Amino acid sequence: MTQARKLKKQIRSRARKTGESYTAARRQVLMQRSRISAPRPAPAPAADVPASLQNVGEDHGVDGWYAQEITVAYERARGLRATNQRMSGEYEVSVSKILPAPVGEVVAALRAPKRRAAWAKAMDPELRQALEAALAGPKGLRLRDKGDARMRFRTSRGVTILLSLDPRAKGRSALVATNMKLKAKADVERCRAAWRPALEALSRHLGG
């Protein structure tokens, strides 16, 4: 079995156990592998810190996602990057929930104004306004051929949100709200606090 097939098998296994999306499970598996395989350099001055993913790839023969995860782990260990901080300096955080309904049913609960009103009272006002504007727009949230759904929108504070819905076993679905382009570490907890009651309310609405 090739390394790529082994990796995919490990990711799918984690996704089944945790209910995470394939992308979220892949991120966690790669982070775990990077912690095991990443070199532990002796303390060195800032000038010796690897400057980019290209250094990891070219100097150590590590490719793609492995290079990225090793770089992130290294920078966090040296205090050069905070948790949830991207290479750009901005922050990003995902909030997820396993919902007791198939993707199509969740899409309906999000898109139908009357159904949305039944659970969206728990939402942060700014987030609710941005979500409703996006759902009413021409792109909106649509069920795709693969049985999943995606929608990207922005809040009034300039936060970009990717809403992802993926099918899970036993008629369930996984909803992940990835909040991107956050300017400060404090925004990470603010986004978590805005999404968690909303997703709990949505789960209860769907029978959870």
- Of residues 72 and 203, more confidence is placed in 203
Min mean pLDDT across 18-27, 100-109, 148-157 is at 18-27
Looking at residue 7, its pLDDT comes to 83
Q: What is the pLDDT of residue 110?
A: 95
Please tell me whether residues 97 and 190 are part of one structural domain: yes
Q: Supply the pTM of this predicted model.
A: 0.60
Backbone angles phi, psi at 183, to 5 degrees: -85, -30
**Runs of H (alpha helix) within the chain:** 3-18, 22-37, 53-60, 64-77, 103-111, 113-119, 125-136, 186-205
Same domain for 98 and 71?
no
pLDDT digits 0-9 by tens, 3-14:
778 888 888 888
**pLDDT for 199 beyond 90:** yes
Q: What order of strands is seen across the sheet that includes strand 172-182?
A: 91-99, 172-182, 160-168, 149-154, 142-143
Give the 3-state secondary structure of residue 74: helix
Classify residue 162: in a domain, yes or no.
yes
Mean pLDDT across the stretch 132-143? 89
> Residue 153: CB partners within 8 Å, gap ≥ 6?
130, 131, 133, 134, 137, 160, 161, 163
How confident is the model at residue 29, as a pLDDT? 80
List residues bridging with 205 in a β-sheet.
Answer: none
Residue type, 107: V
Torsion of CA 149, 152, 155, 157, to 10 degrees: 140
117 and 194 share one domain: yes
Q: How many domains does the chain have?
A: 2
Bridge-based pairing state of the strands 142-143 and 172-182: unpaired
Q: Could you tell me if 107 and 196 lie in one domain? A: yes
Are residues 118 and 50 part of one domain?
A: no
Which residue range forms the structural domain that includes residue 184?
91-205
- Which pLDDT does position 22 carry in this prediction? 82
State the pLDDT at residue 13.
86
Is residue 49, in this structure, part of any structural domain at all?
yes
CB 68 within 8 A of CB 76: no
Q: What is the dihedral of CA 120, 179, 15, 135, to 10 degrees?
A: 40
Query: What residues contact residue 4 under an 8 Å CB cut-off, 6+ apart?
Result: none
Residue 182: both structure tokens together = 């956050």
9 and 67 part of one domain: yes
pLDDT tens digits, 29-78: 887 776 665 555 544 444 444 444 555 455 555 555 455 555 555 555 55
